[in-house]
Amino acid sequence: MIELYQSLADLNNVRFSAYRTAMKLRRLQKALCLDLLNLSAACDALDQHNLKQNDQPIDILQIINCLTTIYDKLEQEHNNLVNVPLCVDMCLNWLLNVYDTGRTGRIRVLSFKTGIISLCKAHLEDKYRFLHRVAAAETAKHQAKCNICKECPIIGFRYRSLKHFNYDICQSCFFSGRVAKGHKMHYPMVEYCTPTTSGEDVRDFAKVLKNKFRTKRYFAKHPRMGYLPVQTVLEGDNMETPITLINFWPVDSAPASSPQLSHDDTHSRIEHYASRLAEMENTNGTYMNDSISPNESIEERSELERIFADLEEENRNLQAEYDRLKQQHDHKGLSPLPSPPEMMPISPQSPRDAELIAEAKLLRQHKGRLEARMQILEDHNKQLESQLHRLRQLLEQARH
């Protein structure tokens, strides 16, 4: 019992409560040898002791009798793994600690059934999904390298980033909350408890590509929170995509309240993502052709076509925004601010003169911001068209 408590305490460094609970339950399940108990055998033992009235209480003696029946049968099947007296004592202790906190010496039949069935060997995907995945991932071997501790291959859970290409984390680093430079815990990730298939690899690649182009405005319209207690990309502070650097403030709002745009930073980010996409094409171009099976090609092609639709919609939105800004700029140019000689003669010391000068300065600043935004939109539109062209080439390769 002391060894069990110590092994459970060792899991307290797992950062996320769901995984911490699942790991402890799995450790308890194996210590009680309930991972050897089939669901049918558990039901037979319950029926043998006539435990059918779920609301009826059951005392310690009845619990011991039923547990003895269960473990006697397990001992016949797994003689070297089951110590009947020890398992009965530990399982009884666990059931009473969980369901008899008042120390009355009695628990409900339903509670007894729930405790045994929840830890027996059965299909738990629906109600106990995380416990099931922990059990399935224990011996899983992934042909990938952890970007933090450099473990290769990854054993157990594998966490793949849906924000960066070729970024994987092992379960030890993920559970402890460790991250590598350039990655944050609120970035979207996908968990694998079994080795990935070629179809999953291609789908993840498509999702990463989509996340590169999605804006905060898109995620605000399509909110969804993942299970893990870490923020997804929907709630991220700075999505590393050029679109988010363009602040679409209302034209008639005060220019002084608008954020400053970093033109050089925007282009550096665009160049970075273009180079990353080119790198992925060079490293994965042949892989995509060879790894896609005929059964998966239709689904993957539809996924890429959905990406095209999203990117083309974003392209249309950018073009509409560019046209709107251009019209406003042209309109401003047709009705310029009157020059000082044409204005009414006002004393240089009058408040009206100071207001007009300040207004003219604000208009010039706003005009400069509009021109900068138009240039950024135009450059990004060209970059987006280039990305679409490359993605079409990938789709053509996948079709053949």
Reduced 3-state DSSP string for the chain: CHHHHHHHHHHHHCCCHHHHHHHHHHHHHHHCCHHHCEHHHHHHHHHHCCCCCCCCEEEHHHHHHHHHHHHHHHHHHCCCCCCHHHHHHHHHHHHHHHHCCCCCCEEEHHHHHHHHHHHCECCCCCCCHHHHHHHHHCCCEECCCCCCCCCCCEECCEEEECCCCCCEEEHHHHHCCCCCCCCCCCCCEEEECCCCCHHHHHHHHHHHHHHHHCCHHHHHHCCCCCCCCCCCHHHCCCCCCHHHHCCCCCCCCCHHHCCCCCHHHHHHHHHHHHHHHHHHHHHHHHHHHHHCCHHHHHHHHHHHHHHHHHHHHHHHHHHHHHHHHHHHHHHHHHCCCCCHHHCCCCCCCCHHHHHHHHHHHHHHHHHHHHHHHHHHHHHHHHHHHHHHHHHHHHHHHHHC
**Domain end among 82, 102, 137:** 137
177 in the same domain as 132: no
pLDDT given for residue 382 in this prediction: 75
Q: If you average pLDDT over residues 91-99, what whole number do you get?
A: 89
151 in the same domain as 130: no
Q: Is residue 165 part of a domain?
A: yes
144 in the same domain as 131: no
Residue 144: which CATH number? 3.30.60.90
Q: Tell me the percentage of the chain whose pLDDT exceeds 70.
A: 62
127 in the same domain as 155: no
pLDDT given for residue 212 in this prediction: 73
Q: Is residue 209 part of a domain?
A: yes
- Please report which confidence band the pLDDT of residue 238 belongs to, taking 50, 70 and 90 as the band edges: very low
Q: Is residue 196 part of a domain?
A: yes
pLDDT given for residue 307 in this prediction: 67
39 in the same domain as 127: yes
Q: Is residue 52 part of a domain?
A: yes
**Domain end among 201, 221, 241:** 221
**Domain end among 81, 113, 137:** 137
Q: Tell me the percentage of the chain whose pLDDT exceeds 90.
A: 4
Average pLDDT taken over every residue of the chain: 70
122 in the same domain as 39: yes
pTM of the complete model: 0.41
Q: If you average pLDDT over residues 223-233, what whole number do you get?
A: 38
Note down the domain range covering 177: 140-221
pLDDT given for residue 338 in this prediction: 44
pLDDT above 80 (res 320): no
206 in the same domain as 111: no
- The number of domains in the chain is 2
Taking only the tens place, the pLDDT of each residue in 133-148 is 666 677 788 888 898 8
Taking only the tens place, the pLDDT of each residue in 258-301 is 333 344 444 444 455 455 555 555 554 443 444 444 444 555 56
Residue 44: which CATH number? 1.10.238.10
Q: If you average pLDDT over residues 49-60, what whole number do you get?
A: 84
pLDDT given for residue 151 in this prediction: 87
pLDDT given for residue 299 in this prediction: 57
Taking only the tens place, the pLDDT of each residue in 177-209 is 787 777 776 677 888 888 888 888 888 888 888
Taking only the tens place, the pLDDT of each residue in 3-53 is 777 778 888 888 777 888 888 888 888 889 988 988 888 888 888 898 877
